Amino acid sequence: LAARSPVFNAMLMHEDTNESKTGMVVIEDMEADVAVEMLNYIYSGRCNKSGVCEVAADLLLIAADRYRLEELKLHCESVLVEQISSDNACHNLVLADMYRAVTLRKHALNFIMQFTKAVTSSTGWSSILKSHAHLITDIVNGFDKGPTTSSSVSSCSDEPMT
């Protein structure tokens, strides 16, 4: 654990932590399937794409960010980009903003700009308006610039062109 994650390293190597005293790490605030997939990555050094798809990639991205597992975080971002739709684009934008997921943020913004009507009809849009209003400025500013890589966004979705 300590070799792959600076967070686990600190937990296990500092003399004054419970983890170093007991040799055990207890993770209470993570779903079991997410923890299993994260540990699979830590021990094997590989990302199991089907495993990431079976567990919630967004929850695994949060775990990867928390334990500073950058390669796993990037992998989760790529899975989320492949699965982007009008139903989850707003959630993905909020997630990307909160956890500094640059690639996911770019693709979510581009998707929202490209499929504005479908996205603004989603429940995720209401959430952005109520709880993440600062992201509206980013979306509106994006219209001035236009999508940065429109071909990569359209290849990620089954949404109709409008």
Closest CA to 25 of 5, 55, 48, 52: 5
Q: Quote the pLDDT of residue 15.
A: 76
| Tokens at 90, concatenated | 């707003």
Take residue 56 and report the two structure tokens written for it.
């919630």
CB 96 within 8 A of CB 108: yes
Helices in the chain by DSSP H: which ranges?
6-13, 18-22, 32-44, 49-54, 57-66, 70-82, 89-98, 102-114, 116-120, 123-131, 134-145, 150-154
CB 38 within 8 A of CB 63: yes
Question: How many other β-carbons are positioned within 10 Å of the β-carbon of residue 113?
Answer: 20
pLDDT of residue 145: 76
CB of 34 within 8 A of CB of 64? no
What pLDDT, on a 0 to 100 scale, did the predictor assign at position 70? 93
Give the residue from 34, 83, 21 showing the smallest Cα distance to 62. Answer: 34
pTM over 0.75: yes
Contact 143, 134 (CB under 8 A): no
**Contact indicator for 110, 138 with CB cutoff of 8 Å:** no
pLDDT value for 158: 41
End-to-end CA distance of the chain: 48
pLDDT value of residue 142: 83
Mean pLDDT by 10 residues, the chain (162 residues): 72 73 80 90 78 77 94 93 96 97 96 95 93 91 69 40 34
Both tokens assigned to 3: 């070799």
